[in-house]
Amino acid sequence: MKAVVVKEAGGRAELTEFPTPEPGPGQIRVRLAAAGVNPVDGKTASAAYGEASYPFVPGTDGAGTVDLVGPAVTSFSPGDRVFGRLQLARWRGTYAEYTLAPADGVIARLPPGLDFVTAAALPVAGVTAMGVLEELGLEPGAALFVLGATGGVGGFLTQLAALEGIVVVATADSSLAPRMQALGATHTLDHHSSEPLLNQVRAVRPEGIDALADLVGDPATLQPLLELLPRGEVVLSTAQEIEQELLSARGLSGGRYRSQPTAEMLKELGRLVAEGKVKVPLERVLPLAQGPEVLTESTSHLHGKTVLTIP
């Protein structure tokens, strides 16, 4: 099969021939049609999270058709159109024509109306956003401040929160304010402005906010914003550890978001997208051949999801 492969530590990714995997007990094999790109892919390929296992095929998100199932698999059958975290191990991913995945993993069948490319953009970013919102436990009418709202997770979080009647205060470049408002943000604040974010939030929400979701990971930006939260509220970050002493001193709870995704969450997210209630912020759709390039580029200029198509 064709796959994007990093053959050795420090090596460059290349599109090359790679052995087609065979499913074992409890596993399914998927003929991929699309692979979603996440920032973690490039970091893992460069061993930024520790020593990798080589040869390495990147990618967690994917969508395609089950073509073979291993022994004892009853939940999926050949011909099923599926999407999810289609990765058996961290080092064998979705930038390939075929991938293996555990049948009991974060995988769901495509609902009617959801195509492969759109579905491949959902699993990591969309389910993370869903999990963050669930853990925050906000009621309709509450106010959520989303720091770093224009990326993949931020776009989904803004929409999901707005669907639940939550007031979303989102940071975004001024040029992206209309986009974020279309996704459901009540207020957009320019993080490039000379006016501190703390003052901007107080100007639009003098009554304060009820929770904060940090998707950026900059302690210097986050810490002053903790003043906005009354005692008893929650701060979650997908991008950095937050010192518990810092939160406790202000009577806050939360920290680094680490909850595990589930297939049920993915299924619900797919339903919302298929019904048009949640839009997928697609930025680019590229061929698999550009996978090596995507792994090495900076994504800081992007404000939506990249998906690789697999012929």
Could you read off the pLDDT of 218-277 as tens digits, one per residue?
999 999 999 999 999 999 999 999 999 999 999 999 999 999 999 999 999 999 999 999
In this prediction, what percent of the chain has a pLDDT beyond 90? Answer: 84
pLDDT at position 114 is 97
**Cα-only R_g, the chain:** 20
Are the CB atoms for 54 and 6 separated by under 8 Å?
Answer: yes
Q: Is the pLDDT of residue 298 over 60?
A: no
**Does the structural domain 125-256 have CATH classification 3.40.50.720?**
yes
Bigger pLDDT: 45 or 189?
189
Q: Give the other-Cβ count within 10 Å of 99's Cβ.
A: 28
Q: Is the pLDDT of residue 49 over 80?
A: no
CATH 3.90.180.10 in the chain is located at 2-122+280-309
Confidence of residue 116 (pLDDT cuts 50, 70, 90): very high
Confidence of residue 39 (pLDDT cuts 50, 70, 90): confident
Q: Give the other-Cβ count within 10 Å of 108's Cβ.
A: 23
Identify residue 162 by its one-letter amino acid code: A
CATH 3.40.50.720 in the chain is located at 125-256
Confidence of residue 47 (pLDDT cuts 50, 70, 90): low
Interatomic CA distance for residues 280 and 184, integer angstroms? 13
Confidence of residue 11 (pLDDT cuts 50, 70, 90): confident
Cα→Cα distances 299→38, 195, 291, Å: 9, 26, 13
Token pair recorded at residue 105: 């993993």
Interatomic CA distance for residues 111 and 294, integer angstroms? 29
pLDDT at position 8 is 85
Q: Where are the beta strands (DSSP E) in the chain?
A: 2-5, 14-17, 27-37, 61-69, 81-85, 98-102, 107-109, 143-147, 167-171, 187-189, 211-214, 234-237, 253-256, 282-287, 305-309
Average pLDDT, the chain: 93
Bigger pLDDT: 143 or 45?
143
pLDDT at position 266 is 98
Bigger pLDDT: 46 or 87?
87
Q: Which residues contact 131 (CB under 8 A, 6 or more apart)?
A: 257, 259, 261, 265
What phi, psi does 289 have (nearest 5°)?
-60, -20
Q: Is the pLDDT of residue 91 over 80?
A: no
Interatomic CA distance for residues 197 and 209, integer angstroms? 13
Confidence of residue 293 (pLDDT cuts 50, 70, 90): very high
pLDDT at position 205 is 95
Cα→Cα distances 20→1, 92, 210, Å: 6, 11, 50
The pTM for the full model equals 0.93
The CATH superfamily holding the domain 2-122+280-309 is Medium-chain alcohol dehydrogenases, catalytic domain (3.90.180.10)
pLDDT at position 147 is 97
Confidence of residue 168 (pLDDT cuts 50, 70, 90): very high
Three-state DSSP class for 161?
Answer: helix
Token pair recorded at residue 208: 């304060």
List, for residues 190-222, the tens digit of each pLDDT value: 988 999 999 999 999 999 999 999 999 999 999
Three-state DSSP class for 137?
Answer: coil
pLDDT at position 281 is 85
pLDDT at position 3 is 98
Confidence of residue 81 (pLDDT cuts 50, 70, 90): very high
Q: Is the pLDDT of residue 100 over 70?
A: yes
Confidence of residue 15 (pLDDT cuts 50, 70, 90): very high
Q: Is the pLDDT of residue 152 over 80?
A: yes
Confidence of residue 82 (pLDDT cuts 50, 70, 90): very high
Nearest-CA neighbor of 4 among 49, 44, 56, 40? Answer: 56
